[in-house]
């Protein structure tokens, strides 16, 4: 744009005309600069929007590429959150006073697993201790829950002649489906009838009979449909129990381990009993005055 001013003016008119022309020129220059600045800002804003859209698309693609557990890992959870949801505490007796069933006629299945190394595994189901892992950052297991807070089956060994002298294992493991797991070390002294038919090459068999203290009298459990409040179920076959024992057993000098035979009675008219028959080759035999052999397990 070209500005033409007629300067053939004399006196005060010349000064006014010059001032006017200068002002017009300055305004036009300012308008031009403003236009350039606006165009620059618009271009910068357009680039910023393009970058944001690119970042959004990249983030969306990244989220879609991530596994579900990594996407949801932003939520932080703890075992305590789950225990609070289940209302497990010392002040709440609902988990300790009675069997964990919503229907009192439903028996509680207790799975027993024994290794001759003095390990007793028990698993049972609680209707009151299940949760949805999706609500707690995919937590499916809570280890080391104090056993005093949870009901436990009262399982004993009939042949035991002395108190269990193993250090206590005061913790349980909870699973999201309601399963409770107790792994307990035991030192058990039992009596076995001695067989000296092939002396001195004896093969001795000792029974470990597991049953419930409170479930031996059906008059106490007549409310259950099956007549039993506890159903004892072997978790392993004889073959698996033998293999597991061989893996963990520390062989002594006086005897050599043969095998374990697992039998159980699930008759409707007698309490459940699981018998683990342990076979031993006795290398050194010590006889007592009553001719009883005592084995420490």
CA distances to 58, 59, 139, 160 from 63, rounded to whole Å, are: 9, 6, 21, 59
More confident call, 168 vs 99: 99
Q: CATH no. for residue 89?
A: 2.70.170.10
- Whether 198 shows a pLDDT value over 90: the answer reads no
Whether residue 135 is contained in a domain is answered as yes
- Whether 285 shows a pLDDT value over 70: the answer reads no
Percent of the chain's residues with pLDDT above 70: 67
CB 245 within 8 A of CB 257: yes
pLDDT digits (tens, 9 = 90+) for 4-15: 444 454 556 666
- Whether 179 shows a pLDDT value over 90: the answer reads yes
d(CA 177, CA 82): 13
Confidence class for position 119, pLDDT limits 50, 70, 90: low
Whether residue 47 is contained in a domain is answered as no
- Give me the chain's average pLDDT, please: 75
CA distances to 16, 38, 46, 65, 203 from 106, rounded to whole Å, are: 109, 79, 69, 46, 42
Whether residue 71 is contained in a domain is answered as no
d(CA 257, CA 295): 12
Whether residue 29 is contained in a domain is answered as no
Whether residue 30 is contained in a domain is answered as no
Whether residue 49 is contained in a domain is answered as no
Domain interval for residue 110: 81-296
Whether residue 171 is contained in a domain is answered as yes
Instruction: Please report the pLDDT score of residue 45 as a whole number.
Output: 67
Whether residue 204 is contained in a domain is answered as yes
Q: How many domains does the chain contain in total?
A: 1
**Is the pTM higher than 0.85?**
no
- Calculate mean pLDDT across residues 109-117: 77
Instruction: Please report the pLDDT score of residue 5 as a whole number.
Output: 46
């Amino acid at each position: 744009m070209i500005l033409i001013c007629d300067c053939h003016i004399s006196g005060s008119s010349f000064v006014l005309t010059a001032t006017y022309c200068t002002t017009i020129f300055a305004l036009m220059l300012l308008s031009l600069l403003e236009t350039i600045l606006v165009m620059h800002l618009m271009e910068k804003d357009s680039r910023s929007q393009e970058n944001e859209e690119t970042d959004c698309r990249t983030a969306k693609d990244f989220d879609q590429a991530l596994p579900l557990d990594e996407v949801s890992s932003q939520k932080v959870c703890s075992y305590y959150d789950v225990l609070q949801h289940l209302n497990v505490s010392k002040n709440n007796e609902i988990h300790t006073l009675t069997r964990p069933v919503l229907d009192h006629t439903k028996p509680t299945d207790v799975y027993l697993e024994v290794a001759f190394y003095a390990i007793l595994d028990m698993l049972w189901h609680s209707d009151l201790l299940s949760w949805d892992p999706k609500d707690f950052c995919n937590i499916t297991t809570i280890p080391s829950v104090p056993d005093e807070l949870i009901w436990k089956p009262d399982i004993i060994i009939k042949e035991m002649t002395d108190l269990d002298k193993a250090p206590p294992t005061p913790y349980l493991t909870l699973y999201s489906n309601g399963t409770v797991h107790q792994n307990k070390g035991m030192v058990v002294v039992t009596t076995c009838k001695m067989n000296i038919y092939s002396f001195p090459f004896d093969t001795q068999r000792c029974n470990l009979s597991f049953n419930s203290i409170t479930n031996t009298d059906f008059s106490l459990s007549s409310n259950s449909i099956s007549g039993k409040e506890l159903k004892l179920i072997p978790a392993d076959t004889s073959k698996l129990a033998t293999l597991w024992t061989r893996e963990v057993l520390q062989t002594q000098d006086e005897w050599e381990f043969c095998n374990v035979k697992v039998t159980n009675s699930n008759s409707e008219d007698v309490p459940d009993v699981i018998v683990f028959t342990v076979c031993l080759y006795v290398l050194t035999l010590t006889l007592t005055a009553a001719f009883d052999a005592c084995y420490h397990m």
